[in-house]
Amino acid sequence: MNGLGGLNKSPAGVVIGLVQLQLPVVVTPEDLARQTDRVVAMVAKARRNMPTMDLVVFPEYALHGLSMDTNPAIMCRLDGPEVAAFKKACVDNRIWGCFSIMEFNPHGNPYNSGIIIDDQGELKLYYRKLHPWVPVEPWEPGDLGVPVIDGPNGCKLSLIICHDGMFPEMAREAAYKGAEIMLRTAGYTAPIRDSWSFTNQSNAFCNLMVTANVCMCGSDGTFDSMGEAMVCNFDGRIIAHGQTGRVDEIITAEVRPDLVREARINWGVENNIYQLGHRGYTAVAGGAQDCPYTYMHDLAAGRYRLPWEDEIKQKDGTSCGYTKPTRNYGEGQAEAAE
């Protein structure tokens, strides 16, 4: 049930619009300005399209396209004109918005960042993609964790970006911090269609959490993005799906955070987000609360290493034309903080 896409909004509901935005070509600052105007116009379309809509979500690469261009002249800043335009659009249309920017980084490669702005024009969530799609993407790995905020109509809201969603730990982290709705924005192309679908569903089911997911759409003359906007309920069922691949279509659904809360409290069987830390509670009081997972211990200790690690062929971006990096993670940023 999704309230006929939000037409029949319940008092506890959150209506989400997922924009299957036409994939752009952005090379110059003038291109960036035009694409910013296009995104702003789509915010207004979303409001006209669905008066009950609480949150409009734009895909990853909505401003920059899929060129992977790191030219500083077209990188964005939080205090730049693009973000200012998004804030004004949210105020003008009385709507929350989720947007994608490639963010200038004076100490390394740009960040692939996502922001959520409320209907008063306030920046509420700021996230840097933790898992760039290597070896293709040149972006600096994120350093802000997985934020969770109070979203529209009292929901707990989080954001991850594209490849992040292929790591079950990302969705688990969002849910562990309280997220009832997790957005996933992407620029994926057609070869990823099947894995996009089943990870969106598994991220929802394994964490009793709504996932709302959207890709860029259409062709830029080189790449073909797939749209595939998809809202998955906390039981893993798809309740809205943009299967036509129609550019600039806005896929809408009403989701119910109150039912997420109810399930998390009342479910016994398959309450996996709880049961992970309370193994076998039928047999032992409170369940086993140890950590039996070797990879978690090794990752935390900085010694994560696969048994086949020496045989892995691609460990940098040279196969995609990037220079092999020599700077270690955190270098530059730490110096700037001093």
Looking at the structure, tell me whether residues 304 and 189 fall in a common domain. Answer: no
d(CA 140, CA 128): 9
pLDDT of residue 1: 58
Looking at the structure, tell me whether residues 177 and 325 fall in a common domain. Answer: no
- Among residues 9, 87, 98, 129, the one annotated as catalytic is 129
d(CA 296, CA 334): 25
pLDDT of residue 2: 74
Q: Confirm whether 286 is domain-assigned.
A: no
Q: Confirm whether 288 is domain-assigned.
A: no
d(CA 98, CA 159): 9
Looking at the structure, tell me whether residues 75 and 41 fall in a common domain. Answer: yes
Q: Quickly count: other Cβ atoms within 10 Å of residue 292's Cβ.
A: 8
Looking at the structure, tell me whether residues 176 and 119 fall in a common domain. Answer: yes
- Among residues 60, 137, 140, 173, the one annotated as catalytic is 60
In whole angstroms, how far apart are CA 299 and each of 38, 175, 305, 328?
Answer: 42, 20, 8, 17
Enclosing domain of residue 324: 294-337
Looking at the structure, tell me whether residues 99 and 22 fall in a common domain. Answer: yes
Residue that finishes a domain, picked among 275, 307, 323: 275
Q: What is the residue-wise DSSP string for 68-129?
A: ----GGG-B-TTSHHHHHHHHHHHHTT-EEEEEEEE--TTSSPEEEEEEE-TTS-EEEEEE-
Q: Confirm whether 18 is domain-assigned.
A: yes
The span from the first CA to the last CA of the chain, in angstroms, equals 53
- Among residues 155, 162, 215, 232, the one annotated as catalytic is 162
CATH number of the domain to which 52 belongs: 3.60.110.10
Q: Confirm whether 219 is domain-assigned.
A: yes
pLDDT of residue 3: 77
Looking at the structure, tell me whether residues 89 and 208 fall in a common domain. Answer: yes
Q: Is 324 a catalytic residue?
A: no
Looking at the structure, tell me whether residues 208 and 77 fall in a common domain. Answer: yes
Give pTM, 2 decimals.
0.96
Looking at the structure, tell me whether residues 100 and 247 fall in a common domain. Answer: yes
Taking alpha carbons only, the member of 12, 6, 8, 78 closest to residue 46 is 6
267 and 30 in contact (C-beta within 8 Å)?
no
pLDDT along the chain (338 residues), means of 10: 85 97 98 98 97 98 97 98 98 98 97 98 98 98 98 98 98 98 96 96 98 97 95 98 94 98 98 97 98 98 98 97 94 54
Looking at the structure, tell me whether residues 168 and 202 fall in a common domain. Answer: yes
Contacts of 151 (CB under 8 A, 6+ apart): 14, 55, 96, 116, 124, 157, 181
Q: Is 129 a catalytic residue?
A: yes
Q: Is 162 a catalytic residue?
A: yes
89 and 113 in contact (C-beta within 8 Å)?
no
pLDDT of residue 333: 60
pLDDT of residue 337: 42
For the chain, the domain total comes to 2
